[in-house]
Amino acid sequence: MRFQSTRGQAPELGFDDVLLTGLARDGGLYLPVTWPERSAEEWRAMRELSYADLATAVTQPFLAGSTIEADLPEIMKEAYSPFDHPAVAPMVQLGANTWLMELYHGPTLAFKDYALQVVGHLFDRVLSAKKERITIVGATSGDTGSAAIAACAGREAVDIIIMHPKGRVSEVQRRQMTTVDASNVHNVAIDGTFDDCQALVKSMFNDQTFRDELHLSAVNSINWARIMCQTVYYAYAALALGGPDRPVAFAVPTGNFGNAFAGYCASRMGLPIASFLVGSNRNDILTRYFKTGEMTIEGVQPSLSPAMDIQISSNFERLLFEAYGRDGNAVTRLMDGLHQSGRYTVEPAPREAIASQFTGSRLCDEQTKAFIRSTYETTGQLIDPHTAVGVHAAQNSDLDQAIPKVILSTAHPAKFPDAVESAIGIRPELPPAMAGLYDLQERYDELPNNLKQVQDYVRAHSRV
């Protein structure tokens, strides 16, 4: 399979290069040149598959021509074996026709494991086939760093250096990163904010000499491989609820729009999905867009669902590319506008195309607690603040009652114990496999917010 950039100026690449490159050279994001659509009959035949086998079946066409194509079944089996539920992504029924899909049974208790566990294996295999190494550098405010570390720990061809703002991530999140005992994992607490950490990463990537010297790579959600892996749980849910012979709807708490876009991919691959009910917190750039057709940047404010505290939803660019009939120039114009004036307006036809599948709703912190409470009182299910945003998006919709709704639960409640406790007075407990988290030895270094010192550190700890 070949992949093209949403800005239309970068060369088409095969899977292996798309995996290692992440962002396209023209600033765009990669998408497959065609959608591998499956017939209803082909989908039906996948109903009986285990999660790992379904992951192979769904993602195989994207790896056509890759050096590691034949390894895919084994990669998927290995990637999902550490998950702590036999179904990998189990669903619980919340109401007459509403389901919650628990996407928190991976090693770090958030949905990012579902893609990053696979991506860690993909990196390792592609790099050993090419006899290359890379250095991953990243900044995290919490979930991404721990999921990336869990995915890369012990991988022969990868060194990973994750910076977090000192004293500004939750204890669970910090411990999930710093207690990983692997010689290729390096945690750095930066004396600064999350924005400072991100600026350091950006500067390292903009320093071409340094970037080439260390084979820098990133694992953020603009990487196509992550999106590809996330389409699998949409298929898993749809098939379990009668798809492809019956449409389903999904409620998705989203920030960067990666998760919602993965659902769109599943629909392009032939699964009938009636609607995506997109939920945001007070940082509501997306839900404002769905109301007005205009994307306008505002400042970021901290919320109870910090993984969705974003200024721009980067992955929305992929949906725009589709809605504009794959016109890279049109997407470039919109993104230039966003860069220059902090806004763009989507034209009527593409806006209509998007509105036919997506709606948005916003939930403030006070109501987030109210939804954690009401969900617990009516169903007994403990949910985290991100999931509460999804529950609200599902309840707030005027979708036909006959269509089953699946709410994606993106984090385990014990990952955000303070918010849950302040909502219902119960402190959620970590699953048994993680119970020792507070006793494990932490390992991390501290550095000032200084580019030169950080670069020296990366150089000293990379094996490239």
Ligand X SMILES: *Cc1c(COP(=O)(O)O)cnc(C)c1O
Q: Shortest distance, CB of residue 316 to ligand X, whole angstroms?
A: 10
258 sits near ligand X (criterion: CB under 6 A):
yes
392 sits near ligand X (criterion: CB under 6 A):
no
**102 CB contacts (<8 Å, ≥6 apart)?**
85, 89, 90, 91, 92, 409
Among 117, 254, 275, 281, the residue binding ligand X under the rule CB under 6 A is 254
110 sits near ligand X (criterion: CB under 6 A):
yes
Q: Shortest distance, CB of residue 252 to ligand X, whole angstroms?
A: 7
Q: Are 116 and 148 in contact (CB under 8 A)?
A: yes
Among 386, 392, 405, 461, the residue binding ligand X under the rule CB under 6 A is 386
Among 59, 410, 455, 462, the residue binding ligand X under the rule CB under 6 A is 410
Q: Where are the alpha helices (DSSP H) in 88-193?
A: 112-130, 143-152, 171-178
Considering only residues 424 through 463, tell me which ones interact with ligand X, judged by CB under 6 A.
none
Which residue's CB is nearer to ligand X, number 313 or number 462? 313
Binding segment for ligand X (CB under 6 A), chosen from 42-50, 123-131, 258-266, 367-375, is 258-266
96-100 own/partner pairs: CB under 8 Å, 24+ apart: 96/401, 97/401, 97/402, 97/403, 97/404, 97/405, 98/394, 98/404, 98/405, 98/406, 98/407, 99/237, 99/241, 99/404, 99/405, 99/406, 99/407, 100/381, 100/383, 100/387, 100/391, 100/406, 100/407, 100/409
Q: Cis (ω within 30 of 0) for the bond into 244?
A: yes
Which residue's CB is nearer to ligand X, number 107 or number 253? 253
221 sits near ligand X (criterion: CB under 6 A):
yes
228 sits near ligand X (criterion: CB under 6 A):
no
117 sits near ligand X (criterion: CB under 6 A):
no
Binding segment for ligand X (CB under 6 A), chosen from 44-52, 165-173, 255-263, 354-362, is 255-263
Q: Round to whole Å and give the CA distance between 179 and 439.
A: 9
Place of tokens 């996407």: 103
Q: Round to whole Å and give the CA distance between 364 and 287.
A: 12
* Total of residues contacting ligand X (CB under 6 A): 17
Q: Shortest distance, CB of residue 314 to ligand X, whole angstroms?
A: 8
Q: Round to whole Å and give the CA distance between 267 and 178.
A: 38
Q: Is 112 a catalytic residue?
A: yes
Which residue's CB is nearer to ligand X, number 315 or number 462? 315
Place of tokens 């507070």: 438
Which residue's CB is nearer to ligand X, number 98 or number 256? 256
Which residue's CB is nearer to ligand X, number 57 or number 201? 201
Residues in contact with ligand X by the rule CB under 6 A: 110, 112, 143, 221, 253-260, 307-308, 386, 410-411
User: Which residues are marked as active site?
Assistant: 112
